[in-house]
Homo-oligomer: A and B are copies of this chain.
Amino acid sequence: MFMARVKGNVITSQKVEKMQGRKMLIVEPVRVSPDNSEIVGTGRSFIAVDSLGAGPDELVVITQGSSSRMTSGTSDAPVDCVVIGIIDSVTVLGKKVYQDQD
Contact = CB atoms under 8 A, between A and B. Distances in A.
Given A87-B10, A90-B26, A68 B67 contact: yes
Contacts of A7: 32, 36, 92-93
Copies of this chain, complex-wide, total 5
A64 B36 contact: no
Most chain-B CB neighbours within 10 Å: which of A9, A49, A87? A87
A99 B94 CA distance: 23
B63 A66 contact: no
Interface of A: 1-3, 7-19, 24, 26, 28, 30-32, 34, 36, 43-49, 51-53, 56-57, 61, 63-72, 76-82, 84-94, 97
